[in-house]
Amino acid sequence: MSSVNLREMVDELMAGTGSSGRATHVFRAVTGGALSQVLLVLREGRELSEHDNPGEALLHVLRGRVRLIVGDGTCALGPDEHLVIPQERHSLLALEDAAVLLTIVKSRA
């Protein structure tokens, strides 16, 4: 059993974003299991393009500000804000350098 310092990991990922302006680290509760978390960093102005939800998902902003776009609706979030991501196509835009933790439970077929 080992712990992870998310603040330090965010700093490391931010330093490694390069020209793409984004970086990720995936945590899995159990190999091949349904539960995972994705630590995602995005530089200001970068976007996670529109995509489907792979299952139930929660978004927790650790640093910076982001905008979640779902259909015609948007929601701006800042540090320490948490949101259930609707079961619709959506995208995420970094309004400033940002780090978010996505918790995902994949749908079982």
Whole-number pLDDT of residue 71: 87
Over the chain (109 residues), what is each successive 10-residue block's mean pLDDT?
90 92 91 90 95 88 97 94 92 97 84
* Interatomic CA distance for residues 34 and 31, integer angstroms: 9
> Tokens 């540090």 identify what position?
79
For residues 54 and 104, the answer to whether their CB atoms sit within 8 Å is: yes
Torsion sign (Cα): 68, 70, 75, 80: negative
Whole-number pLDDT of residue 39: 97
